[in-house]
């Protein structure tokens, strides 16, 4: 669709053929389900369980799984309460993510305790098996732990990307402006956020 719009702009084509393309499969996984307030409260109530703190950080920062596991401590500014960087798009890689007061103590403790260069680390893996490892947690392993933690807490299954959708939904609900939302999520424009991330919950409707 982007190539088609480009071609229209420069008179390479006269009609947007991309608008008529149909994909013969169920809706893509961008359309996930945001965590409910009840889900988030349950996570806070069980903060001592391994991996819960990582899930909360992803919800409150909107980081993608790759951004979270590869986040180096050098990109965490505890003094000013900012996380720098990300991935995927140029805007995403150069963004500043504010650290909310709620999760600041979690991030501060991880920063001090992690024996690696990375904020997220696997305590058992680091200390028991590979004492000299200084690598990020593998994304697939993180997903396994993510799903298992939600299952343990009795929270319906979510994809890791749902953390990002949750932040987008709450930012919209509390009326942050478009610039603030796209800057925090690293989106080029608000249309991406509106189309794929912001979900109005049934209670609000």
* Segment 52-89, tens digit of pLDDT: 999 999 998 988 899 999 999 999 999 999 998 765 55
Reply yes or no on whether the pLDDT at 199 is more than 70.
no
Distance, CA of 187 to CA of 97 (rounded, Å) = 13
Q: What is the pLDDT of residue 33?
A: 86
pLDDT at position 23 is: 73
Residue 80 φ then ψ, to 5°? -100, -5
Q: Which tokens is 160 given?
A: 């890791």
| Tokens found for residue 81 | 């309460």
Q: Higher-confidence residue: 104 or 185?
A: 104
Question: What was the pLDDT predicted at 128?
Answer: 53
Given a cut of 60, is residue 106 above it in pLDDT?
yes
């Amino acid at each position: 669709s982007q190539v088609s719009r480009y071609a229209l702009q420069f008179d390479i084509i006269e009609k947007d053929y991309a608008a008529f393309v149909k994909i013969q499969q169920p809706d893509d996984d961008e359309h996930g389900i945001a965590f409910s307030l009840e889900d988030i409260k349950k996570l806070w109530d069980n903060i001592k369980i391994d991996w819960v703190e990582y899930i909360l950080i992803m919800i409150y920062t909107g980081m993608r799984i790759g951004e979270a596991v590869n986040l180096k401590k050098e990109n965490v500014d505890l003094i000013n309460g900012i996380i720098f960087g990300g991935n995927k798009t140029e805007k995403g890689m150069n963004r500043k993510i504010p650290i909310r007061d709620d999760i600041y103590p979690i991030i501060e403790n991880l920063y001090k305790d992690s024996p690696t260069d990375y904020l997220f680390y696997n305590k058992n893996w680091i200390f028991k098996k590979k004492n000299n490892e200084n690598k990020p947690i593998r994304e697939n392993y993180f997903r396994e732990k993510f799903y298992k933690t939600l299952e343990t807490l009795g929270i319906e299954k979510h994809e890791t990307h749902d953390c990002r959708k949750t932040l987008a939904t709450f930012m919209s609900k509390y009326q942050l402006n478009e610039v603030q939302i796209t800057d925090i999520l690293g989106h080029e424009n608000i249309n991406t956020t509106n189309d794929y991330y912001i979900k109005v919950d049934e209670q609000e409707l």
